[in-house]
Structure 1
């Protein structure tokens, strides 16, 4: 059992469930799914007493233009859509590492990358499954309470995971809140119902025959978006909301006559508040026998909305550090300088994420080394992220050709625009060279026999 008192665990969990940090993470998840604030908007008019009151009969479009989800996918794919490469001077090490860092692992890493943008942080859990296979699992940032040893959040003391599942009771399904506490002594399991249950069970991380073991380090590894651990939504929410509102308001104005018409009332019998109320809510105004109403129509200027949207979209891209796939820089004769200029913000942001991920993957390599019983140094393993940037192919190929003899073939192949899997391509090159050598040897052997 871990040495953390139950009362302390309960206090930590309660504080987390009520924290702004959790709300920010949940906001990122919700906005990615399209659950935006605009969907809760209520249109109001000035009531008879001069105060705003809800008006259910007015047009109330609630349009979500989910720029946020697009930016998250764009930024994740930019760094992680292409399979990262691992390299080492020791071929035996690479053979073993490639079996572990396979396509399944890199798919999981892509999900972790998306999670860091949504929640500011995500976690990778290393464990042995029921078949005693070395395995990985993703923990969402919104379900993990990390307890750090230091203020800079560089080393974990222990981790609390809190998440919900459904349990069949014999009649129906009941939602259960599970709590798992990960320490160097193993995992303690509880449930939560406004307080912790008694300990359900304790498990160690590894089991070999009849003996159980634990890791020297905590097998829960944090992957941060950067040192701030700030969800992306907190940088762009106000802009995303404004985009939704402008589009919804434009459609409202196109459909709602009361917003585009001014009535000039003559000899009106009633109070000003009643006039505004009846006009907005019912669309009519009672007047005296010698009274009347003149109508002034205001045209909805679509150009104004387009201008505002253009400004908001530009602001969103800049604050999200994304790129505009419809940029004018991609029109006509595109050169590499224009492309690099367009990608500058997303590239800088991806470099920060790459730095965080490399540091975390070095920790993962330590666990892999223990599992393989290998003796390599984690720092001797190079991790190369292949960014998915739009390029001028001809220029890129020319640059690769000019780099021959200056940098390694492996690096050149990894940067070639036609190569998706640099490891497989290097194998093909090796086979072609071996085949050529065999052909030459065959020619010489034929001459010798003559």
Structure 2
């Protein structure tokens, strides 16, 4: 969306209302909600109702079997993707290690978890939003904002540069004992933020936000009571892919059909009981009485007619055909969802490295799209970190710093260990440790290895009474 308040001389408030109405009705936002619902296994099948026809009109029938089996394929696909790319600790690379330390201190220990949250949000909704701010204590903070609350107004068709941003959300309030919901609205530009509220279908200024005479429309935050601005809109986007599609877009119909057919078979097993009865000259009142008599008395009354009687037809469900359909659907879900079916026969008990690469090829491709946009988002985040360092009078270095996402790649551990052992005379210890499946932090492991080696050297020196190792000191590096 592009913001142009010159159209028909509309006011900013009127344009905000138009944007909100359009976004509320958009397919984009509805798919965001669906994406999160399916991740929570709140699939559409849970809303299914059973009907019968009376006078050629459908009437809900609550007496019929209505199995509603929702399957958590979306949670599996999204969790596997996010854990594969974002679970292992990220690595920052830069020529200046001190600068890395400063950036890590600003981002905080929870940034790794924040990345995973953004990964889930982007996968479920097509795009994730991170809001950066400075709290009342002067600390740099970040918070993930639900994507269905954000209306981005872009300057370009590629959706890379923000012109403005609208955030709207409902808050719970009480008027006396009555609970009500009020829609709060924030309109963000590069220089300031203005607070509105929706009242009687109109966007008006939020008077509560401006009761304090010290509050104004200037800036994004205050420093020592003085309004200040980031100079850019403090919301950072992390896209799922170039089209901003959620992962559900590619597999929803497949999951829905899997849910539906599994539920239908459940209904058949519950209702049919494998036998259909044909009644001739039945003396009861209706079919419901027939079922009750047969269930309770194990017999029924029929009229004294030579043609009267009860026949039956065996009804057998073709289980093999149903299984084949389920297996095909399951394969399609993982193929088109670019996931890894861990129950697939292709994996086997101990797959080779080449086989694992093939099995994970779809997941790798899907993660490549997410990784590219997350690196883009991280670059934007660093701009805000540097602005914060300038505001707080800390040293800012004009040096390039990049983030590396260490994928949690599935490997054959026995093969990996053997390869490491066979490469000892060819590669450095640091490189070998980075490839070892038991090592999670290379730097920490290097420190442990060096410390253990020094301790063993000291023990040898004591054992053989040699002064060869007498120059070894704690913390000193060996040649």
Range class of TM-score, shorter chain: 0.7 to 0.9
Report the structure number with the largest CA radius of gyration.
2
8 Å contact from structure 1 (residues 75, 350) kept in 2: yes
User: What is residue 224 of structure 1 aligned with on the other side?
Assistant: 239
- Residues 167-191 of structure 1: per-residue CA shift (max 9 Å, x gap): 3445354322211111112211112
Name the SS for the 1:295 alignment partner. Answer: strand
8 Å contact from structure 1 (residues 243, 309) kept in 2: yes
Distance 1:294 1:109, change over 3 A: same
1:352 aligns with 2:379: no
Name the SS for the 1:147 alignment partner. Answer: strand
Cα distance in 1 for partners of 2:254, 2:70 equals 12
Distance 1:441 1:169, change over 3 A: farther
Distance 1:102 1:401, change over 3 A: farther
Give how far 1:325 is off: 1.4
User: What is residue 43 of structure 2 aligned with on the other side?
Assistant: 36
Residue correspondence of structure 1 range 170-209 to structure 2 within 5 A:
170-193=176-199, 194-200=201-207, 201=209, 202=217, 204-209=219-224
1:214 aligns with 2:229: yes
Give how far 1:160 is off: 0.6
Cα distance in 1 for partners of 2:472, 2:322 equals 80
1:395 aligns with 2:415: yes
User: What is residue 316 of structure 1 aligned with on the other side?
Assistant: 333
1:108 aligns with 2:108: no
Cα distance in 2 for partners of 1:53, 1:182 equals 50
User: What is residue 147 of structure 2 aligned with on the other side?
Assistant: 141
User: What is residue 249 of structure 2 aligned with on the other side?
Assistant: 234
TM-score, normalised with respect to structure 2: 0.80
Which of the numbers 408, 419, 423 marks the counterpart of 2:439? 419
- Residues 256-279 of structure 1: per-residue CA shift (max 9 Å, x gap): 027x4444465899xxxxxxxx76
8 Å contact from structure 2 (residues 191, 233) kept in 1: no
User: What is residue 275 of structure 1 aligned with on the other side?
Assistant: none
User: What is residue 336 of structure 1 aligned with on the other side?
Assistant: 353
Cα distance in 1 for partners of 2:192, 2:54 equals 66
CA RMSD of aligned residues (A): 3.5
User: What is residue 367 of structure 1 aligned with on the other side?
Assistant: 384
- Which residues of structure 2 form unaligned runs of 5+? 6-10, 210-216, 293-299, 462-466, 474-479
Distance 1:52 1:304, change over 3 A: farther
Which of the numbers 241, 252, 270 marks the counterpart of 1:255? 270
8 Å contact from structure 2 (residues 169, 184) kept in 1: yes
Name the SS for the 2:265 alignment partner. Answer: helix
Cα distance in 1 for partners of 2:132, 2:56 equals 62
8 Å contact from structure 1 (residues 181, 189) kept in 2: yes
8 Å contact from structure 1 (residues 329, 339) kept in 2: no
Distance 1:307 1:320, change over 3 A: same
User: What is residue 161 of structure 1 aligned with on the other side?
Assistant: 167
User: What is residue 404 of structure 2 aligned with on the other side?
Assistant: 384
- Residues 305-337 of structure 1: per-residue CA shift (max 9 Å, x gap): 222111111111112111111222332332111
Farther off after superposition, 131-140 or 99-108: 99-108
User: What is residue 18 of structure 2 aligned with on the other side?
Assistant: 11
User: What is residue 476 of structure 2 aligned with on the other side?
Assistant: none
8 Å contact from structure 1 (residues 85, 422) kept in 2: no
Give how far 1:249 is off: 1.4
Give how far 1:80 is off: 1.0
**How many residues of Structure 1 are paired with residues of Structure 2 in the alignment?**
435
Cα distance in 1 for partners of 2:92, 2:266 equals 52
Cα distance in 2 for partners of 1:205, 1:434 equals 54
Cα distance in 1 for partners of 2:403, 2:427 equals 16
Cα distance in 2 for partners of 1:155, 1:101 equals 23
- Residues 380-401 of structure 1: per-residue CA shift (max 9 Å, x gap): 2131111122111243345557
8 Å contact from structure 1 (residues 55, 281) kept in 2: no
Farther off after superposition, 166-175 or 402-411: 402-411
